[in-house]
Amino acid sequence: MNAIIISALWGVLMMYTGFMTSAKRTVSLVAIIGVVLVFVANWLEYLGLSFVNMDMMGMLQFNTFGLVFNGIILFSTLIYFLLSSTEIEKSSHTPSDLYALMFFVLSGISVIAGFQSLLMLFIGIEIISIPLYVLAGSDKSNLKSNEAALKYFLMGAFSTGLMLMGIALLYGSSGSFSLEGVAAGVGVLTPMRASGMVLLLASMSFKVSAAPFHFWTPDVYEGSPTVYTSFMATVVKSAAFFAFLKLFESAFGEVHGEWQMLVAVIAALTLIIGNITAVFQQSVKRMLSYSSIAQAGFMMLGVFALNTYAKQGMILYFAAYSLATIALFAVLAKLKDHSIEALNGFAKQHPVVAFSVLISLLSLAGIPLTAGFFAKYYMLLAVLKYAELLWLALVAILSAAISVYYYFRLIQAIYFREPAAESELDFSGFFKVVMVFNAILILVLGIHPDWLIKLIY
């Protein structure tokens, strides 16, 4: 509750900052202070200190799982602001508006962290989505950005329609919007209830870009300005996955066996399509969007398994995936040319940044000693509890092996190729410090994942 209030208020404050000062640096500073405050407020709630005590009528309820998830999201946003604030300043004449939109997204994510009713799920997803349509189209004169915004908007609104129909059918059959109410009636799967559930599954798959519903993702991620792609692909995708996991765990957990096979097929398709298409990409940005589809496939395994390992793995996956992808996109946003050749010899020119990028890539590929390894390990462990579905674990391992190929292609370009021309890139000392800090975090999580996991108990 703390995080919702402070992030919404800070969003309004950010809009006024645009009137108060024209110095873009100050605006970024206010945003960074804001996200730190929201993080601290969320932390205080985790420790049991809530700023407001009101009766939520069973609409919202925050447990430690939700609060830890929200903490990870807020921390990733902090890293994102620290690394990308100069790019956000460059992307618009009035960066204060864009920061305000991002704070509204954060407040929507905080609603998602504690939803107990389908109404709150709908409101949360919409508060997240609507500002994102604007962010995707923030480069107004660029046709690709226009296209990304339109595509994202039409797909988002369409999937919202599907979700609402699902909610209406569930309400019709159970007479309640609360997760417990829906779960209580779900034991007998009537046709109306089943179609409501499938519609919700489809719309959530749209939001997390899982396989048959992923076709909008590459265009939207490639067309949007790179800084906002980073935000969409990490923070927002994690939030959508949290909503997916919580909805299917609390509302449809009892009929797990009925829909498990459906999710297994979606997860396998997502893994295969994401990884195989990523291999053929020439643009790093487009490759990273396919890689984000592939990583979504791994997170789908958590939704598939719904056991203790899955919950722990999801938390680790959110942290590992967000930190690594934010670092990669922060470097990519500074490059003008997004082809793989543009990275040739990057290590010779910028050894410190290249090392952090290396750690991020290794983490995404799931190499031991990085956070990504344990994230994938927990997901596989969760799936292996279902011995009859061994093929799913095999598909996951095979596609992780494929993913090593295209991540290592980047590493090869960075470390083993000669630079074509003198680099005109200049990374500030602060940027390097944050990148190294981020790499250290990934390594620490790779050695001690228990430090993060034990927070949810």
Q: Are 70 and 28 in contact (CB under 8 A)?
A: no
Q: 355 phi and psi, to 5 degrees?
A: -65, -40
Q: Does the footprint of other proteins cover residue 304 (CB under 8 A)?
A: no
- CA distance linking residue 16 with residue 426, whole number of Å: 32
Q: Which stretch binds other proteins (CB under 8 A): 155-163, 260-268, 343-351, 405-413?
A: 155-163
231 binds other proteins (CB under 8 A): no
DSSP 15-55: HHHHHH---HHHHHHHHHHHHHHHHHHHHHHHTT--S----
Tell which one of 53, 141, 428, 429 touches other proteins (CB under 8 A).
Answer: 141
Say whether residue 335 binds other proteins (CB under 8 A). no
Which is nearest to 24 in space by CA: 88, 101, 103? 88
Q: Binding to other proteins by residue 10, rule CB under 8 A?
A: no
Burial, 428: exposed, middle or buried (Cβ in 10 Å; 0-12, 13-18, 19+)? exposed
- Indicate whether 43 belongs to the interface with other proteins (CB under 8 A): no
Q: What whole-number distance in Å separates Cα of residue 402 and Cα of residue 380?
A: 16
- Per-residue x/- marks for other proteins, 99-128, CB under 8 A? --------------------x--xx--x--
Q: Is 191 in the site for other proteins (CB under 8 A)?
A: no
Provide the H-helix boundaries in 366-428.
371-384, 390-416
Nearer to other proteins, 45 or 222 (CB): 222
- Candidates 66, 124, 137, 345; binder of other proteins (CB under 8 A) is 137
Smallest gap from residue 230 Cβ to other proteins (A): 21
Regarding 154 and contact with other proteins (CB under 8 A), the answer is yes
Q: How far apart are CA 133 and CA 212, in angstroms?
A: 22
The answer to the question of residue 146 lying near other proteins (CB under 8 A) is yes
Does 212 interact with other proteins (rule: CB under 8 A)?
no
Q: Does 134 sit near other proteins (CB under 8 A)?
A: yes
* CA nearest neighbour of 226 among 342, 338, 305: 338
Q: Point out which residues bind other proteins (CB under 8 A).
A: 119, 122-123, 126, 130, 133-134, 137, 140-141, 143-144, 146-147, 149-150, 153-154, 157-158, 160-162, 164-165, 167-169, 171-172, 175-177
